[in-house]
Structure 1
Amino acid sequence: MKSSEIRQSFLDFFESKGSRVLPSSSLVPDDPTLLLTAAGMVQFKPIFLGETKVSFSRATTVQKCLRTTDIENVGKTARHLTFFEMLGNFSFGDYFKKEAIEWAWEYVTEHLRLPLDKLCVTIYEDDDEAFEIWRDVVDLSEDKIFRMGEDNFWSAGPTGPCGPSSEIMYDLGADFGCGEAGCTVGCDCDRFLELWNLVFMQYNRDENGNLHPLPKKNIDTGAGLERIARIMQGVKNNFETDVLKPIIDTVAKITRVTYGASPEKDVSLKVIADHSRAVAFLISDGVLPSNEGRGYVLRRLLRRAVLHARLLGVEQPFINQVIDSVVETMRDAYPEIVDSKPFIQRIAGHEQTRFMETLRQGLNILDQAIAQAKAEERESLTGDFVFRLYDTFGFPLELTIEIAEDRGLSVDEESFRNLMEEQRVRARASWAGERELKHAEVYEEVREEFGKTDFLGYEVDEAEAKVKAIIKKTVVVTEAVDGDDVEVILDRTPFYAEKGGQVGDKGVIETESGHVRITDMQEPLEGVYAHIGKVVSGRITIDEPVKATVDIARRQSIKRNHTATHLLQWALRRVLGDHVKQAGSLVEPDRFRFDLTHFAGITKDELRRVEELVNSKIFSNQPVRTFVTSYEFARETGATALFDQKYGEFVRLVEIGNFSKELCGGTHVSNTGEIGLFKITSEGSVGANTRRIEGVTNGAALTYLYKEEDALLKAAGLLKTDPSQLTERIEGLLQTIKQQSQEIESSKKKLAKDVIGDLLSEAKQVDGTKVVVQKVDGADMDSLRSYADLIRDKVGSAILLLASTADNKVMLIAAATPDMVKAGFNAGNLLKKVAPIVGGGGGGRPGLAQAGGKEPGAIDKALEEGWKEIREMLGVKA
């Protein structure tokens, strides 16, 4: 069977079992805990965890994968690869072990028709359930079922879904074995080939390593396409299958080496073929070479390919010829790689050229080390040096040994291998837990690969340009389509990126086939201009010509506000003093904010003088000039600079008339008259000795004044007077209100005396203490407190419990004179007994407490209970 036939038969088989056929996901996983997609289950991890709901419960895929944990074995064994394809079927809380085992066996024996005598299986040592299914359901003899340890407990990373697994193994025969007497399943030799791993996902491993049962049991399986193809095509190793042999042939032609003639040279041919395939797919999925994260994986793979090519005598660029072969071989299964080929070759070719230069440097260092060793009469190079040469420049041990032997030196291989093993242990412990590539690294690689963007925004509002890179979720891609959120990097742009307090431009990027709405503009790295937005129609691709157009009206408003802040700083220094310095700013299209150093609040009169000065310069239509000059010249001419800003040798100077000079990289109007009008809207403190002024200009200032005028007219209308007479009218009303308030207060006092007289007339005497337990109609809580205070002031010894209602709610006050509190009475304790009767609660001090309730109909009962409680507190028997 051809590889294409294997792929299709696998998908067809599981589709017949009710599985949804889904495409391969990217090698860049949408998961910050994973560096690369290393298994078919990665795209389904949120489903396994119950975080994402889908309309199907079964799926099947052919997933492109990449692993580098055993990179040193690539080319040396028959099975190890970095890039490979994984055939997988998945159950999300649907079928489980029985069906997964039965169907896998059915596919292997009935569709692939593999001989039964060549097959055996492994299970996790404690998984009796799987053992019974293989023995009793599949009818596999017990001597064909091998219990294994931790290797048969699988997870995609240090945390997340995991569970026991069962592997289907293929016995290649003694010729592929190690020859040891005890060679059996589990041996590291090539005899027993794992074809398919069935993982029974039933746990979630937390950050502390604890296992928790998943909400639903799941199935995750993975079968190696290249391994199955090797068996089905009757070849000796994965590299001789139809997905790798054409690439091997291309490499052999380039290097003029005959495949199969030399085991040592075959290793290099295989490494170049495997790594070139991995490099092509990584770049196609948006990974760029870097020194960290997945970018480092790409760089390391490409450099190893170059070094192995050198071992075969190739010192000229070759990688793009191999990529041609990769694309041709894989195009039917992954057509997207065809469209990405120019991009892949550009990145890979550039990286190859750079490394060849680095390689020359490494050879120089090696030459120096050999010379030093000979001068010191040493017979070998240290393992530490060889390892550093490998780790820094990617030199393989074989190349160092070959060069050293030519010069009569050996290499301390044991020390080197010990250091390699230490690094390998660290890598295996962390490869799956690497954090997602930092956003900053993407920008660094984009700038390194494509150079800086030319900013044209000081002169123009639109420009023709070309797309250099497209970024989606920190990944560089070759195209974006309708609905994608993107960051577009152009070779030249009229868009101003947010800087120095001025917000970035908005606008559109248009191509023949697409339209991108730009909603923000940033310069995350010097020279890298990121046009942030969304593709609203069609598509946009790299190297495509575009028209970039700034929202001109919005930019003009920003220009007005930015120039206004320069005028504001000049005026503030005139009014408040030369100690004023800018401490921050924000320039937006509809407003501006300006922070300044000043030791006191700014008075209304001072703000008015500032406004008048600024507007006088606006109305006199002063010219605004911008030009680049040396930093020293700018300072010598009195230009104002931000105290915390670092400036280079050359700076941009903004000069207004003959009175304002500031170092500034923002956009500005050409004369102050364009600002139209200036208005301060607020002033206040934002920290010690720092004040903040906010304001508006032009149309926004007019809108602000209209709003103020509308409020004035409305107030005048409500008071039935002319706006010019409003102040006088308000003053008169305030005087009237004051007089009426005094009269009301006087009336309230008189009413309170009357109420208090009534309450005291109803008071009961208990051992010389006046006890007032009454309902007071129409009183609010303030009135009740006032009555309680007045009564306590009026009589010698007294205890009160007053109640009232308002809005269908109950209010209670309990109080006592100081002598009664001293004697042990507690108003708070009294209300704790009484308040629940009216459906409420409350509390307070022993001398005064208050409570509320929601059952007015129970007031009489509450007061009756209160009277009983007071008598008990006073020691009076019922």
Structure 2
Amino acid sequence: MEKIGLNELRKKFQDFYETKGHYVKKSFPLVPDKDKSLLLINSGMAPLKRYFAGIDTPPSKRMTTCQKCIRTGDIENVGITSRHGTFFEMLGSFSFGDYFKEQSIRWGWEFITQELQLPEERVWATIYEEDEEARNIWKNIIGMPEERIVPLGKEDNFWEIGTGPCGPCSEIYFDRGEEYGCGKEDCKPGCDCDRYIEFWNHVFTQFNREEDGSYSNLANPNIDTGMGLERLACIMQGVDSIFDIDTIRIILDEVVRISGVAYHNGEAKTDVSIRIITDHIRSVTFMVGDGILPSNEGRGYVLRRLLRRAARHGKLLGLEGPFLADLSQKVMEASGCAYPELEEKKEYIQRVISVEEEKFSTTIDQGNQILNDYIHDAKQKSGTCLSGEQAFKLYDTYGFPLELTQEIAAEADLQVDLDGFNQHMQHQREMARAARKSETDAGWADDSSLYVDLPDTEFIGYTTLYAKAKIVGIFSGKTSLNVLREGEEGHLVFDCSPFYAESGGQASDKGSAESAACHAEILGVSRVKNVFLHKTLVKSGEICVGETLDVSVEVENRNKTTCNHTATHLLQKALKNTLGDHIQQKGSSVSAEGLRFDFTHFEAITKETLEKIEEEINKKIIEFIPVKCEEMPIKEAEKLGAMALFGEKYGERVRVVSVGDYSIEFCGGTHVSNSGQIGAFKILSESGVASGVRRIEAITGTGLYSKLTEDEGLITIASEKLKANPSNLISRIQTLNEELKTYKKELEQIKMQAMGSELEDMIANAKIVNGIRLITKRFEDCDINDLRKLSDEIKDKEKGIIVLFATVNGSKVTFMVSVADDLLDRGYHAGNIIKKIAAAAGGGGGGKADMAQAGAKDPSKIEEAFSLAETLL
């Protein structure tokens, strides 16, 4: 049997089915499209569900794919067993109401025996025990001996998930030989031993399961076959483990090279770490390549969990510093021929991995120390479990995925209180929801039943800023009124309105409403479903239901808001052009004052890159590009390539805003008619607002003039305070900074001399406690680093000594404990001592055995903490 490489196997499969009239579709991304039931694509059939369900029309009735897949359900077994992996490729052949069982089985047999030349006598088939049609095809058409056709029950050979399409299946097995078997006479496919390996499943979707549990025949039966590429490669390359096939072994060998740790084919403890890193870097590389970014939720959390798990196992192998980004290059070398996007996005993929690995490296040592302390305390108390509060602190403060905490705890034979963890997580979510609600609360707009009898408001504000509008309702809170009098405030509902109601991140219009008998201000507009609520203050006269008023939108406010809204479209496009297609809008806020735009990105954007983005947007503004807003069917908009807000629901008809052919987006907001009307664009700030989410705040048009005037005022004031001309302001600041550095340095020297002069006195006055000399001293407004230096000088001079310093800076207390080296062997531990000392003063902290520090809140408790130190010794 010829050994065939994995990449060649993939090509053989696709080429074979192409000769059978199948459309070869490249792998769908790992992120499901229009399917919220899955976080990640986990099978070859998953991205084709809408074709099988008849929702979408497939490009061909016959298709073949090699689908990228991620499964994390068995992550705990990855590295421990030879077959479990999180990333894998699934070869598949599909028929959407075209051919059926006989053709599927015949072509499968042809590929196995003629293309791959597997020995016929080592191939077995299982069938559903009631599927006589499949039995006859294998026996009479293929010619397989009946003893190699194994009937199995519904649990093994019938595919169904609840109600809907379902059907029997036939699995194909390879006999690895007696040496892998259990020795039983009746050993055959279905046995738990390792002799027979299932590698290809043919699912015959021919029934529909009804609500009452009965089955009816489908009018157009389908075929769905799936064959694990890595498992097939194991067979074709004669290896027992997926970690030994060519495209995975190249990665594993690189892990061995950079770690200097030998691989023993799964026999050594370190092999688990080598395998975990090898598997996880494959998943991470493909996930980032498909636009997934690390986060604390959803698929981003899966990515973060895999990446951080791999990073930790690198540390277990002795790898210091980041290594995963470089290792991803081996994944690209192994799979780049089939997935060229990996090489195309190489720089981006490696940068995302580097940033996340660096983030984790800054917290893992501290988090590990705290987790080890938790484990130590639990063991001391003969406990078997870490508390949910401890696990949540590691997750929330140090970025430890819960599963990583569980894994490390399990290595110490401890469990984690999952119920307690979930309670803390739920509490945090409730607090976040409450905070969001308080920020966006509009109590008068909560109860839609108030407006159920009112007609929808006709919005005419895209084409006019003025209207004669009839009042159809007046409300104050949840009370319906007939009249609103001078000085009173309420909400008016008109039959039509030129006022844009707050939605889609755009602030509402403001303006006026008046008649011969009254004048009122429109302070803002919200909407409940399709009813517009105009927040109104009556300045004179009174307003009654049924009246018709002249309503006008404030032009300047509308124009400024409109400029900022169109600018967000230019910004999103410029971000994609500059940073990559992974950019997705996560929120926006547009008003007359400026714009705020939240988007997915994995790191802070450099000043140079922000300038490049700014330059691109201003170039598009000065090109005076026509802006077009039009309604069209959603399918037509999708053909144009219009960007939709991820996760947003749209109707059959959508409004599309196009800035020439530069930017095309779904949008219901108001926009300029020409990009030149924006005037200019300036970024004020760029910051992080959540894990994997960045925020840009910017201004346009006259907003720049206001900012320039404000900045000029600040420069004038600063120049007066520093007694400098504006042109010399920078050099004056530099001179003052140099002077300040000199004074600070002199002051530090004086302080150190003062402390040093006390050194001999401190040593001489040390208390002898249990044979150990203990120095305790309180300082005022001292830098903790200076105290560390002082303690090091004491330890250099003396043995058998423990130093306990406290410094008070304002209302804040900082403790430091330092233990002489000769006491470490006797079990004295600075980290353990300081925990109890700091607790006495209302604080907490920790550290290493030789040096530790902690913060506290109550300066009056310092002497009490010093006394406690004596007691502890």
User: What TM-score, normalized by structure 2, do the two folds share?
Assistant: 0.49
Which is greater in Rg? 1
